[in-house]
Amino acid sequence: PRALREVERLGRDSASLHGTLAKLESKVADSEAGPRDAGPSTLDTLEHLHLIKRNLDRTVAVLEKSAAWERLVQQVEANFSQRDLVGVADRLGSLRASLETLRGMPGEDRRADVLHKMEQRLETLIGPGLRTAVDQCLNSEEDPNRPG
């Protein structure tokens, strides 16, 4: 919820910045049509605003990933409760990608710990079935009279 409010706030700030940028572009166009004495300061301002816009866009993307992280964690828990191990594995891959995107952001250690514990849970659930399948495969190779 907090991350979503931040995303919304940054969206509004970005929209405001777009409006300001449009006004400045209009002023630049007017100055190009008229006297040439406003040059560098207007262009410097445009360059600075463009940099701010890029930073805001990156921040919005990180905040969206942060909000998506919490949703993915909830989905993984739901997959665990339904014993949908394929769904768990798929979403753990998405969580790992999000963890990389959110590197350096507050809560990084907590997110890494959550992912590690979920991966261990998956390994624990897969382990016995995998061991049985490997044993069956090895036993069938040892007994040439056995069908299979």
pLDDT per residue as tens digits for the range 9-62: 777 877 787 788 788 888 777 766 665 554 557 778 888 889 999 988 888 888
Burial of 68 (0-12, 13-18, 19+ CB in 10 A): middle
The C-alpha angle with vertex 10 and arms to 44 and 66, in degrees rounded to 5, equals 125
pLDDT of residue 127: 81
Rounded to an integer, the average pLDDT of 120-143 is 77
How far is it, in rounded angstroms, from Cα 35 to Cα 40? 13
pLDDT per residue as tens digits for the range 64-120: 888 888 899 999 999 999 989 889 999 999 999 888 888 888 889 999 999 999 999
Kindly report the pTM of this predicted structure: 0.54
pLDDT of residue 110: 93
How far is it, in rounded angstroms, from Cα 10 to Cα 100? 22
How far is it, in rounded angstroms, from Cα 8 to Cα 134? 51
pLDDT per residue as tens digits for the range 56-75: 888 888 888 888 888 999 99
